[in-house]
Amino acid sequence: MPDNHPARRRRTAERKGDVRERAILDTCEALLAEKGYDAMAVGDIAQGAGITRGALYFYFGSKQEVVTALVARTVEHLWERSRVTAETDDPRRAIAAAMQRTVELWNEHGLVMRTAIDLSLAVPEIGELWGHTADLFIAAITAVLERAGVQAGTEPEQASAMARALCWMIERTFYHASQESRETLQGASSTCEHIWLISAGLTA
């Protein structure tokens, strides 16, 4: 007997659409590793996702839109890690947890994040996503520094300014280290964590 309930039909369509969109984004991430952004074509993405080029255009209007959606999916995970850091009361534990979770995400999706950084000036939507992500991390780092006793404020020696510098230092350090090896990334993370602890006055 056919299911004529409109809400159930919509949910089924949405699930199918979600599966296809996920396949498109997963394929895009794999092709970034295989070909790089410039060499990757819409046809390659469609073929890898098991759909026609025309079907892909139902979801995304261009390769740039696919990559932007992939970046958006990745930064959602970054935002989750930012929230976890902000919810941890002990500054030392918060710093250690933030760095470890960031290492895990760079190990999983470092190529996407490097692509986001590379395209952030050329593609406004990606620049906005990445900038918003940085702002969330800066706010989380600021909260940790303030809980550790660093004075609130935007002066060079105060929490907000220090957090901004730490955030961009970590981003650039991870960008380069993630291109080498997991061991290099872990070592770079340990160095960044040590600098963050020093900044928070927690090395004694």
Tell me the C-alpha distance between 102 and 134, whole Å: 13
Looking up tokens 């919810």, which residue turns up? 87
Final residue of a structural domain among 33, 61, 89: 61
Q: Return the CATH number at 185.
A: 1.10.357.10
Q: Within 10 Å of residue 199's Cβ, how many Cβ atoms?
A: 22
- Statement to judge: residues 47 and 76 lie in one domain: no
Distance of CA 7 to the CA centre of its chain: 33
Indicate whether 14 pLDDT > 70.
Answer: no
pLDDT digits (tens, 9 = 90+) for 86-143: 566 899 999 998 899 889 989 999 999 999 999 999 999 999 999 998 998 899 899 9
Tell me the C-alpha distance between 116 and 33, whole Å: 14
Q: Note down the domain range covering 20.
A: 1-61
Tell me the C-alpha distance between 148 and 50, whole Å: 51
- Statement to judge: residues 127 and 189 lie in one domain: yes
Span of 74-83, 143-152, 187-196 with lowest mean pLDDT: 74-83
Q: What is the pLDDT of residue 112?
A: 93
Looking up tokens 């809980």, which residue turns up? 147
**Average pLDDT score, the chain:** 88
Q: Averaged over 167-182, what is the pLDDT?
A: 96
- Statement to judge: residues 36 and 105 lie in one domain: no
Tell me the C-alpha distance between 175 and 96, whole Å: 19
- Statement to judge: residues 51 and 85 lie in one domain: no
- Statement to judge: residues 54 and 79 lie in one domain: no
Position 16 confidence tier, pLDDT thresholds 50, 70, 90: low
- Statement to judge: residues 29 and 107 lie in one domain: no
Indicate whether 177 pLDDT > 80.
Answer: yes
Q: What is the pLDDT of residue 30?
A: 94
- Statement to judge: residues 77 and 57 lie in one domain: no
Q: Return the CATH number at 48.
A: 1.10.10.60
How many separate domains does the chain show?
2
Percent pLDDT > 70 in the chain is 87
Span of 8-12, 155-159, 190-194, 199-203 with lowest mean pLDDT: 8-12
Instruction: Report in angstroms the alpha-carbon separations of 43 from 36, 52, 57, 72.
Output: 14, 8, 10, 22
- Statement to judge: residues 120 and 182 lie in one domain: yes
- Statement to judge: residues 39 and 113 lie in one domain: no
Q: Averaged over 38-55, what is the pLDDT?
A: 93
Residue-wise DSSP of 19-41 = HHHHHHHHHHHHHHHHT-TTT--
